[in-house]
Amino acid sequence: MDNRNVKGTTKTVTVMFTDLVGSTELGERLGPAATARLRELHFASLRDSMSVHRGSEVKSMGDGIMAVFESVIDGVGCAVTMQRAVARHNRREPARRLGMRVGISVGDAVRVDGDWFGAPVVEASRLCSHSGAGEIYVSDLVRILSGSSSMHRLAPLGELQLKGISIPTVAWAVDWDAQEEFALRVALADDAVLLREGVASALQGAGIDVVLQASDADTVMRALVAVRPHVVVLDVRMPPTHTTEGLDAAERIRAEHPEIASVDPFAARRLLRKVTHGVGYLLKDRIADMAELTAAIRTVASGGSAIDPEVMALLTVD
Res 318: pLDDT: 46
Res 4: pLDDT: 47
Ordered structural domains, the chain, with CATH: 3-175 (3.30.70.1230), 185-315 (3.40.50.2300)
Res 19: pLDDT: 97
Res 67: pLDDT: 96
User: Read out DSSP for 222-263?
Assistant: HHHHHH--SEEEE-SS-TTTTSSHHHHHHHHHHHH-TTSEEE
Encode 46-80: b = buried (16+ Cβ within 10 Å), e = exposed.
bbebbbbbbbeebeeeebbbbbbbbbbbbbbbbbb
- The CB density around residue 24, as the number of other CB atoms within 10 Å, is 11
pLDDT digits over 13-53, tens only?
999 999 999 998 999 999 999 999 999 999 988 987 887 78
Res 309: pLDDT: 58
Which portions of the chain are predicted below pLDDT 70? 1-7, 148-151, 178-183, 262-289, 298-299, 301-318
CA distances from 274 to 251, 254, 268, 279, 299 (A): 9, 9, 11, 11, 19
Res 305: pLDDT: 61
Res 53: pLDDT: 80
Contact 11, 107 (CB under 8 A): no
